[in-house]
């Protein structure tokens, strides 16, 4: 009888169980409010939808170049030039099947089994789990409130030896915190000096808030080091999660390996998504998308003000993205069970921290505020009644 591989025995993604339970609650009660989803609640921008219809009628939609069609790579390169001011050539851009595809490709291209790769804790679980499945040794850095839940040069200096790679995210999932530009530059310089590949997850760029600290502005790793890898995606700011389109800015020395791997593993990213995403970077789309960010800002303020009124006061600074990450240790030492009970009694779906923190996740929870303002308001009211009972 065949058996499952050892590499497949990585931890499950608990939030997917929450989504399944929320869908069942919606079917049976019709009252679910989903604050667990790490995705916008809005469709793709209108220009993208129009372009999709046109592409279906006019394009072959067969295989494309492995790294993506040239017009899209040109648009992504222009986006980075205009946003950050650094030079980017279309040849620097590798279009992938979602940012998840980008991470898998760069992990395969840059790391061998046994290599040590450093990630922040708390952090996005797919970094850790994908690296583990590929045979890498994952070293978690315990990042707390004193460093805004982000890694520092001092943490890297304290390691026994320089790691093969460092994966960081700013804004981060689940905390929403950002690395100050000076600290990101220092990390990039340290990695370059020590032969460590810096992989900078920048998929939440574009979703930041005016009252975030002045030193926590959005910056990109390529502003300092062209030896780093920058990961982007149309999923978050661009409101196109299910279109499964991401990209990376990759150093020239890694592109041959990326080409060999991508052409064998995926052939190319989805053609329809490529032709559609061409129109996500224009002024009409940006105006629509910035409107979503203004709504996120309202929802964020509702949670940051409302949760402390419910006694949930230990919150990570939500500088960007659309998450509030809370320590609920005064309420439970089993966040998975607590979230299940909240869903059962209130219809509010939340993400337990077990996905994001292998040490303290049993006492943390992530609130997503990417939904409607009415849903956030209603969820707070239901939680208030539940916590009083």
Residue 60 covered by a domain: yes
Question: Is the domain of 37 the same as that of 54?
Answer: no
Quote the CA–CA distance of 298 and 284 in Å, as a whole number: 22
Is residue 87 located within the same domain as residue 204?
Answer: yes
Residues 126 and 274 reside in one and the same domain:
yes
Last residue of a domain, one of 282, 313, 331: 282
Q: Can you give the residue range of the structural domain that contains 179? A: 46-282
Query: What is the mean pLDDT of the segment spanning 11-26?
Result: 89
pLDDT at 216 over 70: no
**Residue 126: inside a domain, yes or no?**
yes
Going by their DSSP bridges, the two strands 246-249 and 93-96 should be labelled as antiparallel
Q: Answer yes or no: is 1 within a domain.
A: no
- pLDDT at 211 exceeding the cut of 90: no
- Which of 337, 348, 338, 313 lies closest to 327, judged by CA? 313
Q: Which of 163, 148, 192 is nearest to 318 (CA)?
A: 148
User: Which pLDDT score, from 0 to 100, does residue 282 have?
Assistant: 97
Considering the domain architecture, whether residues 124 and 66 belong to the same structural domain is answered as yes
* Percentage of the residues of the chain whose pLDDT score is greater than 90: 94
Q: Sort strands 33-34 and 348-349 into parallel, antiparallel or unpaired.
A: parallel
Same domain, 58 and 128: yes
Residues 80 and 169 in one domain: yes
**Residue range 344-381, pLDDT digits in tens:** 999 999 999 999 999 999 999 999 999 999 999 999 99
Q: Are 312 and 176 in the same domain?
A: no
User: Averaged over 248-270, what is the pLDDT?
Assistant: 98
Q: Which of 285, 256, 168 is nearest to 220 (CA)?
A: 168
Residues 29, 135, single domain; the answer is no
Task: Please check whether residues 261 and 295 belong to one and the same domain.
Answer: no
* Rounded Cα–Cα distance for residues 66 and 34 (Å): 36
Closest to 68 measured CA to CA, from 222, 267, 253: 267
Q: Is residue 270 part of a domain?
A: yes
- The answer to the question of residue 379 being in a domain is yes
Same domain as 33, residue 78: no
Q: What is the pLDDT of residue 214?
A: 47
Quick one: 211 and 332 in the same domain? no
Q: Which of 282, 300, 332 is the last residue of a domain?
A: 282
Strands (E) located in 89-226: 93-96, 116-121, 137-142, 165-169, 197-201
Last residue of a domain, one of 248, 282, 316: 282
Q: 116-121 and 165-169: which strand pairing?
A: parallel
Structure tokens at 272: 């329809």
| Averaged pLDDT of the chain | 96
Domains: count for the chain: 2
Least confident interval from 8-17, 92-101, 187-196 = 8-17
In this structure, the answer to whether residues 312 and 299 fall within a common structural domain is yes
Whether 335 is in a domain gets the answer: yes
* Least confident range of 163-167, 193-197, 208-212: 208-212
Model pTM above 0.85: yes
**Residue 364: CATH number of its domain:** 3.40.640.10
Residue 273 is encoded by which pair of tokens? 């998504």
Q: Residue 336: CB partners within 8 Å, gap ≥ 6?
A: 14, 352, 354, 362
**321 inside domain:** yes
**Cα(63)–Cα(184) distance, rounded to whole angstroms?**
37
């Amino acid at each position: 009888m065949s058996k499952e591989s050892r590499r497949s025995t990585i931890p499950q993604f608990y939030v997917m169980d929450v989504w399944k339970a929320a869908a069942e609650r919606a079917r049976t009660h019709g009252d679910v409010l989903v604050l667990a989803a790490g995705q916008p609640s809005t469709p793709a921008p209108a220009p993208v939808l129009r372009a999709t219809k046109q592409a279906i009628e006019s394009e072959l939609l067969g295989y494309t170049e492995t790294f993506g069609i040239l017009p899209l790579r040109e648009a992504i390169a222009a986006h980075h030039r205009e946003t950050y001011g650094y030079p980017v050539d279309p040849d620097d851009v590798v279009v992938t099947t979602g940012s998840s595809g980008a991470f898998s490709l760069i992990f395969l291209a840059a790391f061998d089994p046994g290599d040590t790769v450093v990630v922040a804790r708390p952090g996005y679980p797919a970094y850790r789990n994908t690296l583990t499945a590929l045979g890498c040794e994952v070293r978690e850095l315990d990042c707390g409130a004193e460093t805004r839940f982000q890694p520092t040069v001092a943490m890297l200096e304290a390691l026994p030896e320089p790691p093969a790679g460092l994966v960081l995210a700013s804004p981060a999932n689940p905390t929403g915190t950002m690395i100050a530009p000076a600290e990101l530059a220092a990390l990039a310089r340290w990695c370059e000096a020590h032969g460590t590949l810096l992989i900078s997850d920048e998929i939440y760029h574009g979703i930041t808030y005016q009252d975030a600290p002045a030193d926590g502005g959005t910056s990109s790793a390529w502003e300092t080091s062209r030896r780093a890898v920058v990961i982007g995606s149309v999923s978050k700011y661009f409101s196109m999660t299910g279109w499964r389109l991401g990209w990376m800015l990759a150093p020239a020395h890694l592109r041959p390996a990326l080409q060999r791997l991508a052409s064998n593993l995926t052939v190319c990213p989805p053609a329809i998504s490529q032709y559609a995403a061409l129109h996500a970077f224009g002024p009409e789309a940006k105006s629509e998308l910035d409107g979503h960010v203004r709504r996120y800002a309202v929802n964020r303020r509702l949670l940051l003000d409302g949760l402390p009124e419910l006694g949930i006061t230990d919150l990570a600074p939500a500088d960007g993205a659309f998450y509030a990450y809370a320590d609920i240790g005064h309420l439970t030492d089993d966040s998975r069970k607590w979230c299940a009970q909240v869903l059962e009694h209130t219809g509010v779906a939340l993400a337990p921290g077990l996905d994001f923190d292998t040490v303290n996740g049993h006492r943390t929870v992530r609130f997503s505020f990417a939904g409607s303002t009415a849903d956030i308001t209603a969820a707070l009211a239901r939680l208030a009644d539940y916590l009083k009972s």
